[in-house]
Amino acid sequence: MVFHRHAVNVVCVRSESPRLRDSARGRLLLLIGLWLAAVDASAAAELDSPPVSSPLPIEFQPYRIHLVVTSDPQSQFAARARAELESNLPSLLDRSIGPRWEVRWTADESTAAIPQPAEPPSETVDPSAPPVGAPLQPDVEYRIVVSGRSGEFAAAVDAYEPLWDWRSPRRMVRTSEVRELPSLVVQTLAGLFRPRALWERLDETQVRLRVQGGALADPDPALPLLHRPEMFEPWIFFMGRGGVIQRKTAIPFTLCVLGEDADGRGTGTVVSGLKHPLSSRPRGRVQLMAVACRALWPATDVEFVSRSQPPRLLVAHNVAVHRGRIDPLPEQELPPLELITDRRGRVRLDARSEVPWVMVGITSGDQPLAEVPLVPGAASQLRLELQDDLLRLRVEGQLRLLQGEMVSIVAERTALMLAARAAAKRSEWNTVDSMLNRLQNLPTPAKLRERISGIRVPAVADARRQKDVLTERRIERLCDETDEMLQRHLADEKIRLIVEEMAELKSAAKEIAAEAAK
């Protein structure tokens, strides 16, 4: 598979040569190249080996690891560092990782893809680097580029998992003592490693996980196969005849959190942004695989966009980041981290070892749009497509303004009533009349209701035009709530009652005055 990709790449590179582009020969080559690429891609998909093809139970299956070691030719002491690695790394791997990894070595003499030592580092994926080829498809391919200058030896390590087409960030290790280099490299290899597992649905919230190599011994307790807790991202592989993968898909916004395990077997708790993430039972030949989500990048930039056409960046939205927990909430839960998406619709979630995973909730106004579990640092970037809530948000804003006015009116009405009653006690009937006048001139509920309708009708029409039933329903609910608030706090009855009360008091006062005059 990898070989064919290389071939296609070569053809493509040739096709971009200006010398050939202008010639008929060049065009022909380009067409052939494209055809070969198409054939190659489909063949590659079909030839993809199944994730689990061994007769052994998966817990006893070691990971096929392919190590490619290259050296920086411009580096003065690279050969020494490489020699140190080649002589000590196998035994060190054996002592540290043991039977969990089935390591195959390749000494790559090519230097084309070796980064220059002066290049900035390390924690980024180099997209130009081709995947490492191997006769047998490995589970993980590691490329180690060693270099050495006076007083410093370094190794750049990155990993590639063909099954998921996943690349790790590049990690650099540096040491002044060349003998330390193998142990540092082993630690780095283990740090970039992601265990994988088979999952099986137990119920809506739990899955059974069987971790590959989980039953194999851990020679070094400092480098365990699984972390605690370990989060797995569940995938579904749709297999064709002959056990080749035809399609693979991840269950979105879902993590399986593995607590305790025994010999690589354990129960995982499902946390998801979906209401029923495991409800749909995949049909046909499927294999349920999961891969661990580990914080390998320093942070994850989460980008929020709407599902509308064209997609709209969800800028200035509130994002609440809760610490992920599967146990019941303790009494004193830490307050969530409140963020606001920036002008690119993004928030940055820093990877922190004390918070292995988080629940990220995004709201539009008062309306929650989504709450999804994430492992900060598991990817450098992530894109979440959410419902476009702009129409409802505008209605919410207009109604909030109206509600603010209503609060003012209620306050003013109360103050005027009190003032009228106080004036009546003092028999200041002119003041009473003035207060009642002001009361009657306040905006009436009917007028406010008209304004609610003025907000509701065009918004609902817009939602219907967009065939957005959910938004329409939400707008209706918001308007209904405001209307209800209006009825509750601004009923005309109160004004009618106080006008009558004042009229009675006034006539009574007049009668008393008339009697006193007699």
Binding site for other proteins (CB under 8 A): 315-318, 338-344, 363-365, 390, 393-394, 396-397, 400-401, 404-405, 407-408, 411-412, 414-416, 419
Q: Are 402 and 448 in contact (CB under 8 A)?
A: yes
- Pick between residue 233 and residue 396 the one whose CB is nearest to other proteins: 396
At closest approach, how far in Å is the CB of 437 from other proteins? 13
At closest approach, how far in Å is the CB of 441 from other proteins? 12
Query: Whole-angstrom Cα distance, residue 353 to residue 377?
Result: 10
Largest CA distance in the chain: 126
Query: Whole-angstrom Cα distance, residue 297 to residue 355?
Result: 14
At closest approach, how far in Å is the CB of 392 from other proteins? 10
- Pick between residue 22 and residue 412 the one whose CB is nearest to other proteins: 412
Q: Are 377 and 355 in contact (CB under 8 A)?
A: no
Q: Is the peptide bond before 335 cis (omega within 30 degrees of 0)?
A: no
**Dihedral sign of CA atoms 92, 98, 101, 106 in order:** positive
Query: Nearest Cα to 39, choosing from 10, 16, 5?
Result: 5
Phi/psi at 231 (nearest 5 deg)?
A: -100, 130
At closest approach, how far in Å is the CB of 302 from other proteins? 15
- Pick between residue 180 and residue 342 the one whose CB is nearest to other proteins: 342
Query: Whole-angstrom Cα distance, residue 1 to residue 374?
Result: 32
Query: Nearest Cα to 187, choosing from 213, 217, 209, 155?
Result: 155
- Pick between residue 38 and residue 315 the one whose CB is nearest to other proteins: 315
- Pick between residue 46 and residue 450 the one whose CB is nearest to other proteins: 450
Six-digit token string for 136: 């047998």
At closest approach, how far in Å is the CB of 298 from other proteins? 14
Q: State the DSSP code for 352.
A: B
Query: Nearest Cα to 395, choosing from 449, 319, 475, 279?
Result: 475
- Pick between residue 245 and residue 498 the one whose CB is nearest to other proteins: 498
CA trace torsion 421, 427, 428, 432 (10° rounding): 30
At closest approach, how far in Å is the CB of 304 from other proteins? 13
- Pick between residue 294 and residue 317 the one whose CB is nearest to other proteins: 317
Six-digit token string for 266: 């354990």
At closest approach, how far in Å is the CB of 107 from other proteins? 40
Query: Nearest Cα to 449, choosing from 474, 408, 398, 484?
Result: 484
Phi/psi at 173 (nearest 5 deg)?
A: -120, 140
Six-digit token string for 511: 């009668």
- Pick between residue 290 and residue 486 the one whose CB is nearest to other proteins: 486
At closest approach, how far in Å is the CB of 177 from other proteins? 33
At closest approach, how far in Å is the CB of 448 from other proteins? 14
Helix (H) or strand (E) holding 351: none
Name residues whose C-beta falls within 8 Å of residue 368's C-beta, 6 or more positions apart in sequence. Answer: 361, 362
Strands 265-272, 206-211: pairing is antiparallel
- Pick between residue 126 and residue 342 the one whose CB is nearest to other proteins: 342
At closest approach, how far in Å is the CB of 151 from other proteins? 29
At closest approach, how far in Å is the CB of 200 from other proteins? 41
- Pick between residue 241 and residue 343 the one whose CB is nearest to other proteins: 343
HEC-encoded secondary structure of 441-455: HCCCHHHHHHHHHHH
Query: Whole-angstrom Cα distance, residue 459 to residue 390?
Result: 11
- Pick between residue 64 and residue 394 the one whose CB is nearest to other proteins: 394
At closest approach, how far in Å is the CB of 338 from other proteins? 6
Q: Are 157 and 185 in contact (CB under 8 A)?
A: yes
Q: Is 177 helix (H, G, I), strand (E, B) or coil?
A: coil
- Pick between residue 355 and residue 409 the one whose CB is nearest to other proteins: 409
